A and B are shown apart, each in its own frame.
Chain A
Amino acid sequence: MTATTNKEQDQILMERANHYMRQARLAAAVFTQYSQEDVDRIVKAMTQVAIENAPMLAQMAHEETRMGVTEDKILKNLVASEFLYHQIKDKKSVGVIQEFPELNLVEMAEPMGVIFAMSPVTNPTSTVIFKSICAAKTRNSIIFSAHLMAADSSNTAAKMLYEAALAAGAPKGFISWVDKSSRLRRLSELMMTHPEVDLIFATGGTQMVKAAYSSGKPALGVGSGNTPVYVHSSANVPSAAMEIIISKTFDNGTECPSEQTLIIDRAISDEIMAEFKRNGCYICTPDEVKMVADAVIDSRTGGMNYRLVGQPADLILKNAGIDSGSDRPTKVVLCPLEGELRHHPLAVEKLMPVLGYVFVDSVDEGINRSLDINYAGGTGHTAGIFAEDENVIERFTTAINAGRIIVNSPSSIGGLGGVYNHLNTTLSFGCGTGGGNITTDNVGIKNLINFKRVPRRKNFLTTFSTTRNIYINPGSIDQLKTLKCSSAFVITSPTASRRGHLAMVQERLPENCHVEVFSDLGPEPEFETIQRAIVALRKAKADTIIALGGGSVLDAAKLVRLFYDYPDLDLDQIAVSFLDFNHRMQVFPKEMKTQLVAIPTTSGTGSEVTPYSVLKQGKRKISLVDECLLPDVAIIDANLTRSLPQSITVDTAFDALTHGLEALVSTFASDYTDGLALESLRLIFEALPEILKNPQSVLYRHKLHNAATLAGMAIGNASVGINHAMAHAVGARFDIPHGRANAAFLLSTIAYNSRVPTKFVSIPCYPLWIADRKYARAAHFIGLNEKQERQDLSYEKDEAYRIRLITSLAQAIYDLGRLAGIPLSVGELGIDPEVYLESLPELTETAMRDLSLRTNPGYALPTEVAQLFFEALPIRQRPE
C-alpha cells in the first residue's frame, strides 16, 4: 500500500470538516426558531448535568493532562456551570434583549451561527462546559477542537452536555467535537478557514490564538498574561499573603490571571515574607533563584518550560535540585528577582506555583515595577493590588493596562468572575489591543450575540418662546411709567431723537430713574460701535437698557446687554456656526442680569420678539441666536411709526412679508408659527396699500406694526430661509437695506421653493416636503382664491389648483411691490450689473454659509444658489 500524499490526506480531512460544518449549519438554522423559554430550558438541563459531573470530569482532565489539582478543576467546572448559570439565567438572549425607552431604541439578538471553538490543555473540561452553555443560551452551533493532550476529557464533557441539551429539545448536532486523532491539529487548521464557520472562539496557547486571528474569520481570542500584583503598605498583610497563596496554588497555577510577580512595599516586607514562610511557601536564596530559573524557563525561548506547567511546587523544587528541608508540602516557590527586573529571566508568565517578588520604597516605584511586569508580555490581561488606600488603588488602576485589575482578592479566581466579585464569569479572558484582542471583556454570552439595534425616531422637541411682556396698542409707550428701574440706558439712533421718540421715552420714565442716552447707533453698526456703547453703559451702571429704533438698534442692544452682563464672552466663539440648534457647541448664559426693553420704531424686523441678532462684520453679516437675546419687554406702539418715511415703511414691510413667507415654509415651522405667519401676511396685504394712501393712519400703521411683530414671533421660532441668506449676502456686499434686499429675491425664491427640491433636507422634524402646499395655503388665507375657483377644490390634493394659487401669491407680491415702488430684482436696485456678476462666486459662498439656509424647505445646492443670484438680475416681470 502506498502512503497517501499530504494533498490526499487533506482531502479526506476536508470531507470530515464538511460533515461537522454541515450539521452545525443545519442546527444553527433550526436554532433561529427557538424562543427564550426553549433556550433557557436547554441551558438549565445542561447546567444540571455539568454540576453533577463536575468531579468526574475534573478527575478525568487531571488524569489525562497530568496538570493542576483535581479539587481546583472541580471548582472550575462548577464556576463554568453553577456560577455561569446564576449569572445568565435571567438574561435575555432571544428577540428583544434590552429596551432603552428614553432613547427610543431597542436591542435585539441575532445568533452568530456556527462557532468553531478551541479548548486549552490547562482548562479542558471547564472551557467546554462554559462555551457549550454560552452557545446554547445564544442559539449558536458550536464545534469543539480540543487540545490533543486533553481531547478525551474535553470531548466527554462536550458529549455529556450535548446529550442533556438534546433531551431538553436542542437542535440535533448543535454541539459537536472533533474526534481525537493524530491529524487533529491539521483538521483544526482546515476548519478554522472553512466557509461555514462564522466565528472562531479560541482559548489556548498563543500559537493557536494567532492561527485563529490569521484565519480571516471573526475571532474571539485571548492574549498571554503576566500578572503583576502590588502589595501596598496599607494592605491587610496576613490576608494578602493567604489570598496570594490561594490564588497561585489554584490548579497549580494554570490559571492565566494568576500572580506572576509580587511588588511589595519594603515597609511590610518582613511581615509578609514571614507570613509566606509560616504558611508553607519556600523562599529561595539568590543562588536558588538561578536554579529555579534554569528549571522552569526554557532557555531557548525565554518562556516557561511547558513540562512544568501546572505541576506541584515540590516537583518544581526537585527539578531545580533544591531540597525544601521540610516534610510538609511546599505551597509556592518564592523567588526574589534581583538586579534589573526587566531583564530577569523569571519576570515572565509561569503557569505553575513559582512566584517572583521585588521590594520597593515608594508607591511610584511600586507602580513602575508593576508596569515593568505588565508590559513584559501581559498587557491587557490581568493585574492585582492589595491596598486599603483608595488613592493608591486609583493611581495603580490608572497606570496599569489590564482588562481586569483585581483588588484585594486572589487574581486567578478573582479573574474568573462571580466568586470573589461581580465580574462576568468566564474562562476566556479578553485582553484588548494590548493582548491583540478586540475586547477586554470577560468573554461571555454578550460576545456571542450579533446585536441588532432598532432605533425609532427621536422625539423632536419643538418649543415656542418669545418676549415675555408685550404691550401692544397705540399709546402703549405709557407703559414705561410703570417700568421697574432705577437707572436706564437708552440706546437709539440719531433719527429717533430727531423724530421726537427719544423725548417721548425720557418723559415717561419714572421720575427717580437716572437716564443716560447713547444715540450713536447708525444703521447696521459694526462691533466696534457696540463696544463703545458697552463702555458708556458700564459708566452709567444701568439696570435697564431701552432699545429705541429700527432692527439694527434693537439687534445691537441685545449684544450690548449680553457683553455688559457677561464681559468675558468671546464674540468669535459664540458666533460659531452650527448645523442643529440642539447640538451646537456654543454655550450662552442662561440668565441675563440687565432688563432689556425693546421699542421698535419701524414695522419690519420683529427683533423685539426674536432671539436673533444680526451683526455686520466687514462685508459679512453674522447671526447670533439664543434665547438669552430675547428682550424682556416689547412695546408695540404704532404712534412711533406714523412719521416713518415711505421708503423705510415699504422696505421694512417687505422684510416682515419675507419673514411671514419664510417662517411658513421653514422646516422648523409648527402650528404655532404657521398661525402667526399667515396672519402677519394677511395684515401686510391689508395695511400696506392703505398706508401708502394715508401714511398717518394709526389704524393701518397699527395693523402693520402688529404684522411685523407676529412675523417676528414666527421667525423667532421657525427661522427664515434661502431668501434671507441671499439678502444678507447682497445687503452686506452692496450696502442695501435689509428689507430691500429681501424684496429683490422674493419672487425668485418662492418659485424655487415651490418646486420639488433637487436635494431634500435631512431634518427629523421635517418628514415631508410641503413648501408648495404652504404657499398655496398662504394664498388661500389672504383671499387670493376668491375670483373664479370652485369651492370644492382642495389645494392639498389638486396640484394644478395649488400651482394656480402659488402663482396668484407671486402676482399679489409683485403687484404690492410695484404699488409700493420697491425694487423686485437686483437690476432694479441700482447695482452695477458687471460688478454684481463678478461678485456671484463670493455672494454664493457667503449665502451658503448663512445660518438662514439651515431651515430652508429644500437643500439649496451652491449651483442653485448661484443660479438664483443670476436670475434675480433682470427687471422683474409679473409672474404668469
Chain B
Amino acid sequence: MQTDNAQKIFIAGQLQRAQDNVDQLIASGAQSVVLDFSACTFISVDGLEWLEEMLLRADSSKAQVRFVSIPPSIYKVFKVARIDSIMRACGAPNTDKHSQSC
C-alpha cells in the first residue's frame, strides 16, 4: 500500500511536538502521509483527540494517513481508547472494534 511519494514524519517524545508538521502536510494536499511512532514516548488525551480529528480532515481531503513503528506502550493506548479511525490508520482491516490488529 505504501507509495513512493509518501511523506514520512517522525514523532519524537510527546506526540504534540509533531502536530504542526502533520497539519501543514495535510493542508498542503499531500496524498499519503506516514507517521512513524518509533520515537514517540507518550500520548495525552489531547494527542488522541488531535489524531482522531486529523484523520477526519485527512479523510475529507482524500489523503491516506498510516501509522507505523508503533511502540507497544503507545499501541496499547490506541487499543484501550477504541477509536476506529486510529485503528484503521494502524492497519486494521475493518471497523469491527473487536478484531483489529496491526
Q: Which residues of A contact B (CB under 8 A)?
A: 23, 25-30, 32-33, 113, 171-173
- Minimum CB–CB distance from B36 to chain A (whole Å) comes to 19
Please pick, from A23, A29, A173, the residue contacting B78 in the complex, using a CB distance under 8 A: A29
Q: List 21 A-B contacts (CB under 8 A).
A: A23-B45, A25-B80, A26-B45, A26-B49, A26-B81, A27-B45, A29-B77, A29-B82, A30-B43, A30-B45, A30-B48, A30-B77, A32-B76, A32-B77, A33-B42, A33-B43, A113-B80, A171-B44, A171-B45, A172-B44, A173-B45
For the complex, give the distance between the alpha carbons of A25 and B79 in Å: 11
Contact A26 B48 (CB under 8 A): yes
Q: Is B46 in contact with chain A by the CB < 8 A criterion?
A: yes
Contact B44 A28 (CB under 8 A): no
List chain A residues, Cβ under 8 A from B76: 32
Contact A29 B80 (CB under 8 A): yes
- Minimum CB–CB distance from A727 to chain B (whole Å) comes to 53
For the complex, give the distance between the alpha carbons of A868 and B44 in Å: 65
Main secondary structure of the interface of B (DSSP, over half): helix
Given contacts A29-B77, A30-B77, A32-B77, contact A172 B46 (CB under 8 A): yes
List chain A residues, Cβ under 8 A from B48: 26, 29-30
For the complex, give the distance between the alpha carbons of A30 and B73 in Å: 10
- Minimum CB–CB distance from A756 to chain B (whole Å) comes to 32
- Count A-B pairs with CB separation below 8 Å: 38
What is the chain B residue whose CB lies nearest that of A30? B45
List chain A residues, Cβ under 8 A from B49: 26
List chain B residues, Cβ under 8 A from A30: 43-45, 48, 77, 81
Contact B45 A33 (CB under 8 A): no
- Minimum CB–CB distance from A25 to chain B (whole Å) comes to 6
Please pick, from A25, A27, A173, the residue contacting B82 in the complex, using a CB distance under 8 A: A25
- Minimum CB–CB distance from B41 to chain A (whole Å) comes to 9
Contact B77 A33 (CB under 8 A): yes
- Minimum CB–CB distance from A152 to chain B (whole Å) comes to 27
For the complex, give the distance between the alpha carbons of A29 and B80 in Å: 5
What is the chain A residue whose CB lies nearest that of B42? A33
What is the chain B residue whose CB lies nearest that of A23? B45
List chain A residues, Cβ under 8 A from B82: 25, 29
Please pick, from A23, A32, A172, A173, the residue contacting B80 in the complex, using a CB distance under 8 A: A32
List chain B residues, Cβ under 8 A from A29: 48, 77-82
- Minimum CB–CB distance from B20 to chain A (whole Å) comes to 20
List 12 other contacts, CB 8 Å, given A29-B80, A33-B43, A172-B44: A26-B49, A26-B81, A29-B78, A30-B43, A30-B45, A30-B81, A32-B76, A32-B77, A32-B80, A33-B42, A171-B45, A173-B45
List chain B residues, Cβ under 8 A from A25: 80-82
Contact B45 A172 (CB under 8 A): yes
Q: Which residues in window 59-102 of B have CB below 8 A to A?
A: 73, 76-82
Which of B48, B73, B76 has the most chain A CB atoms inside 10 A of its CB?
Answer: B48
Given contacts A26-B45, A27-B45, A172-B46, contact A33 B80 (CB under 8 A): no
For the complex, give the distance between the alpha carbons of A470 and B42 in Å: 69
For the complex, give the distance between the alpha carbons of A32 and B77 in Å: 7
For the complex, give the distance between the alpha carbons of A639 and B76 in Å: 75
Contact A28 B73 (CB under 8 A): no
For the complex, give the distance between the alpha carbons of A356 and B43 in Å: 58
For the complex, give the distance between the alpha carbons of A648 and B76 in Å: 71
For the complex, give the distance between the alpha carbons of A173 and B49 in Å: 12
For the complex, give the distance between the alpha carbons of A172 and B46 in Å: 8
- Minimum CB–CB distance from B1 to chain A (whole Å) comes to 26
Interface flags, B37-57, vs A, CB<8A=1, else 0: 000001111101100000000
Which of A23, A33, A171, A173 has the most chain B CB atoms inside 10 A of its CB?
Answer: A33
Which of A27, A28, A29, A171 has the most chain B CB atoms inside 10 A of its CB?
Answer: A29
List chain B residues, Cβ under 8 A from A172: 44-46
Q: Which 4 A-B residue pairings sit nearest by Cβ, starting from the closest?
A: A29-B81, A29-B80, A172-B45, A29-B77
